[in-house]
Amino acid sequence: MTAPSIERPRPAHPRPAFWQPHWQAGFAQLGPAFVRQVLPTPLPAPHWVATSAAVGELLQLPVGWQQSHDLLEAFSGNALLPGCQPLASVYSGHQFGVWAGQLGDGRALLLGQVQGQEVQLKGSGRTPYSRMGDGRAVLRSSIREFLCSEAMHALAVPTTRALCLTGSPAPVAREELESAAVLTRVAPSFIRFGHFEHFAARRQYAELRQLADFVIERWYPHCREQADPSGRATYAALLREVSERTARLIAQWQAVGFCHGVLNTDNMSILGLTLDYGPFQFLDGFDPGHICNHSDTQGRYAFDRQPAIGWWNLHALAQALMPLIDDAHAAEAALASYEAVFTEAYVALLRAKLGLARPCAGDADLVQQTLALLAAEQVDWSIFWRRLAQAAGQDDYAAVRELFADRVAFDAWLLRYKELTALAGQGFEPDLMLKSNPKYVLRNYLAEQAIAQARQGNFEELQTLQTLLARPFDEHPGFGRYAGFPPEWASRISISCSS
């Protein structure tokens, strides 16, 4: 496929660049079977929308980079950083359980690797893999991804990060005309399950092995400790590592009430990171079967199906790695720990939310009883847990009890809760609970309010959310309304795959 003809952008200023990164060898070294060089498509009149000082520090950007016009141009696709050769990578994947064939970075460009982190522009124009798309991102979805990736990091959930977001008045056609935006996102790697599926499906086994060896060398070197001259055990060990990382990741999603919305295999990270924030949602009322993506008409990616979908996607990865593992029993054995790792991680996270610092007899049963109690009345997920953390510290559960219409059921649960801690010989640990139950999460309605203001050129609400979500376990006096119940209209917000 021939790359589209794109005019090479010119730097807005002839003076030396504000930032001259030291690019490190990374994914690009794999060669032309994996990536294509392509220039970003310039955007008119770009402006800053949001920046992350923490990610700037991670990349060791110079002080004051948020005011640099040179970087504004570079992170909008209007100029190239010194030594930068942007790349788009090819991958394939299963979408909604159906093989979709070749996909790839249709609107993302890898600028390079700095400080061990890949830096990528999302929304910077067409690539050889855009298919029928325009390669653009819109302000609405870009704000959501910027806020959520940084919020997830603050919740200690593995995720890609967001360095900055720029906007432009350029129109982009989606379900309606919207304005364009470019998100600069950062991760140790953006390699997906779909990268492996691509080369396996095309029987390009040399490239498949090259990719697997690259991943093992960079992030899973201990997999080579297997005493196996053929190397098959090494690739089975890689599959096991990815499986267990994925299990722990999804356990963390379930514990914070996070719905991904589009768990296609091309949206699954080989490093166990939360990748590609599309129609995501943090739960309001606890409905285990909640579907956050209105494009998901069959409910494939409902909240309570996420652990099973992770398992399904890992089987797709296992199938892709079979030419290297060459042993179905070894592949099955590599995936065998998924359920146990997920359950152990999930129960441990819920145990901490309940204030139990150590495992004890009956804790898994209490977790299930708690989930059933919340589901029966679809009690607000975040508010219940935060109030419980505060109640345990004061031994006053009135504010928790008022969340339930069936007070008898709640009282019975509370009795079991107190009895368990007494029998286990450990009291509640309010500090652990407060550090395990965030007060602030990125509810859909909060994002919508920030987006509405941003469309008018006002980024104050976005900045407020960024501040609160960066420290979600703190009280933030004066901002309690951001942790309150969602308004009635929040239930009518519809999020789809369109972005």
Locus of tokens 């509405």: 452
CB 113 within 8 A of CB 119: yes
Looking at residue 131, what DSSP letter applies? T
Look up residue 435 and give its amino acid: K
Best CA proximity match to 196, nearest among 188, 204, 186: 204
Residue 50 three-state SS: strand
- Among candidate residues 70, 105, 134, 266, the one labeled active-site is 266
Q: How far is the first Cα of the chain from the last one, in angstroms, to the nearest whole number? A: 25
Burial class, 445, CB count within 10 angstroms (exposed 0-12 / middle 13-18 / buried 19+): middle
Two structure tokens written together for 198:
């691509």
Residues in the chain: 499
Q: Which residue has the tokens 């009690």?
A: 379
AA identity, residue 434: L
Which residues 6+ apart lie within 8 Å of 229 measured at CB? none
Q: How many alpha carbons fall within 13 Å on the CB side of residue 422?
A: 6
Token pair belonging to 439: 């007060």
Active site residue 396: no
Helix (H) or strand (E) holding 453, with range, is helix 444-455
Is there a contact between 293 and 303 (Cβ–Cβ < 8 Å)?
Answer: no
Give catalytic residue positions. 266
